Structure 1
Amino acid sequence: MKRPDRGPYIGQPVTRIPQMPKTAKVPAEVVMPHLQHLLSIGMTPCMIARAAGVSAGPLYKILAGQTVALKPTVDALLAVSPRPHPQQANVLAYAARRRLEGLAVMGWPGRAISAQSGLNLPSLHRVHAGSVLSLRTHVAVLDVFDRISHIRRGDIRTTKWAQRRGFVHPMLWDDIDDFYEVPAAPDDSGIPDPVVVERLVDGRRVDATRAERREAWRLLSVQGLPANEIAGRLSISKRTVERYKSEMAVAS
């Protein structure tokens, strides 16, 4: 069919709507605060680039003052967190350090952890001392933590050393790899420290939470000790013992 004469004053008909190019760019300033934060906590540009899955070149240009950047690159950089990433050759040490500190709370001395992990003592010391470590070391610590963190090794000297430094019990972390997480306070967690419980059961005086005294009471009750003897060993009143017994009955 012959098209009608459109006249010289009518433009050509639109055949398609121009699409945004795949190389769309955005202001680089949107990612700068995030990059500056990651650098301030110890990440290097190469660590950031590897975690983002981009080459280091565009990142260095942004850091040098480039005003615009490819949107996919900016989005990838904004998604980077301090969390150790398997693409990184080096990672932040905080996650491995938290794990070693948790093992110390459970009474695992350095030599025992070394034997379980295959890492020598200098490597373990570097985890405590440095801000960055190799991915290999991080994975080794992660592996040994997953295998033994629920087992109380029972080295009292190591546990006391860990407690004096305020190390966190492994069970007090919801996500041990979350850089920003604040673990539960021991007194609020409801999780008894097995070392404290052991001392209470032995009749030794020690600062203890209610959860720890309840657990010590349970263990002594299983042994068949009378209420007055349990009260004396735990330095609590007989009435408190009876309350624990009533609360346990209600809970069950």
Structure 2
Amino acid sequence: MTTTTPVQHGERRCYLRGCQRPECRDAHRRYCKRYALRVVEQGPVRVDLRPAHDRVQAWYQQGYSQRQIALAAGGISEGVIQSILAGTINTLHPASARAILGARIEDAGQPGATRLDATGTRRRLQALAATGWPLIQVAQRAGMAHKTARDAVHGTHVYAATAHAIADTYDQLAHQAPEQHGVRQWVTDRTRKWARAHGWPDPTFWEDWGGIDDPAAPETEPEVSVSRAEVITEDALWLERHGYTRHQAAERLGVTKSYIDHSIQRAAARRQKEAA
């Protein structure tokens, strides 16, 4: 069981909740100054991407997933690997480059052959169900039998190939309405009702609070006032105001650009709703 301290005036958490009291604004300014000092001292030093890109690309073509490559490289952000493969960045942080160039891909096991904890796979299938995606549709799009996906929802371990296929399919469908892809309304309604009956959180919950692959992460909203998504949104906007591109901000914060885009859009929608 996790314990949390209540948000108090004089903390940056309070400022992020919208408080404009002087002590809360001062706490936010102190944080920004410390952040700026760290940037000055450590420097946004970048190195040539090509050596790391060539290595990551070769591993990916051998059948290793982005998640396996990230784990082999010492657990660096999967978003960094995704950005490298997508070609959305031209340079790389030295620490990330060293981790990739010094990695042993053998440490990640054979492509698709190992057994993994099923927590992340189960939660992804459940989250898709919460948005209306029936299990059989997800299985078809992931290129597997319906029984394989059904077993993953109730099992404790899955093959790596299953976990990676579900993770990739989840990334594609998490923010897609199933009705717009040919799934009948009565099917999506029944699937959402099934998910609600089991109390399964949707993809937005996991974006806000993180930990979808962590068995210890709670599956209900923690009793804290500031979510991970809110903090990352605030930090990303601060980095942009200080000259970083959104791609650079995403890499520095260890997330993907699409995650930041979506979080900023949702934050704007919340502000409009609160102002209405």
Confirm or deny a common fold (TM above 0.5). no
Per residue, is there more helix in 1 or in 2?
2
Structure ID, larger Rg: 1
TM-score (norm 2): 0.37
TM-score (norm 1): 0.40
Higher relative contact order (CA 8 A, sep 6+): 2
